[in-house]
Amino acid sequence: MDCVRELPVKGLCLKRMEESDIAYVMECMEEAVLRSVSTEESRDRERWLPRLREGIASMHDHANETFILWQDEERMGMIWLGRGQDQFTREPAGFLYGIHVSETSRNDGLARWMMSFAEEWCIENNLESLCLNVGSHNQDAEKAYRRLGFSPRSTIMAKRIR
Task: Work out the average pLDDT over 41-62.
Answer: 82
- Please determine, for residue 83, whether its predicted confidence score (pLDDT) is greater than 70: yes
27 part of a folded domain: yes
Does the pLDDT value for residue 52 go beyond 90? Answer: no
CATH code assigned at 124: 3.40.630.30
Question: Would 157 be classed as within a structural domain?
Answer: no
What is the rounded average pLDDT of the residues 96-101?
94
Q: What is the DSSP string of 99-126?
A: EEE-GGGTTSSHHHHHHHHHHHHHHHTT
Does the residue 162 lie in any domain? no
Q: How far apart are alpha carbons 159 and 150 in whole angstroms? A: 26
Residue 75 confidence class, pLDDT cut points 50, 70, 90 = very high
Q: Is the pLDDT of residue 150 over 90?
A: yes
- pTM, entire model: 0.88
Domain assignment present for residue 80? The answer is yes
Average pLDDT over residues 72-91: 93
- Structural domain containing residue 111: 3-147
Q: What local confidence, expressed as pLDDT, does residue 57 receive?
A: 76
Compute the distance between CA of residue 120 and CA of residue 115 in angstroms, rounded to an integer. Answer: 9
Q: Residue 155 domain-assigned?
A: no
Q: How many domains does the chain fold into?
A: 1
